[in-house]
Amino acid sequence: MEIVECRSEYEYAEKPIAFWWQDRRLEIQEILDQWRVPGGKCFLVRTQDNQIFQLFYGELFDEWRIHQP
């Protein structure tokens, strides 16, 4: 199970702020892009140590997926 911390105002998962990857908590420095897909939301983010990740929040099953392109 992927763990992503996010800020939410009007709906859940509006702005991811940190996530766990390989037993490390990585803080998000910048959201480079975000878009909706059927069933969820995608975010392209850069961490404070300049790594790029794609985060996907699946609304149907209320779960996150993390991918490093």
Digit-coded pLDDT (tens) for 9-37: 887 888 999 999 999 999 999 999 999 99
Considering its fold, how many domains does the chain have in total? 1
Give just the sign of the alpha carbon dihedral 58, 3, 8, 18: negative
Q: Do 31 and 15 touch, CB atoms closer than 8 A?
A: yes
**pLDDT 10s digits, 54-68:** 999 999 898 999 999
Q: What is the pLDDT of residue 53?
A: 98
User: pLDDT > 90: what percent of the chain?
Assistant: 78
Q: Tell me which residue range forms the domain holding 51.
A: 4-67
Q: What is the pLDDT of residue 43?
A: 97
Q: What is the pLDDT of residue 33?
A: 98
Residue 1: which pLDDT band, with cuts at 50, 70 and 90? low
- Give the whole-angstrom CA distance, residue 68 versus residue 12: 23
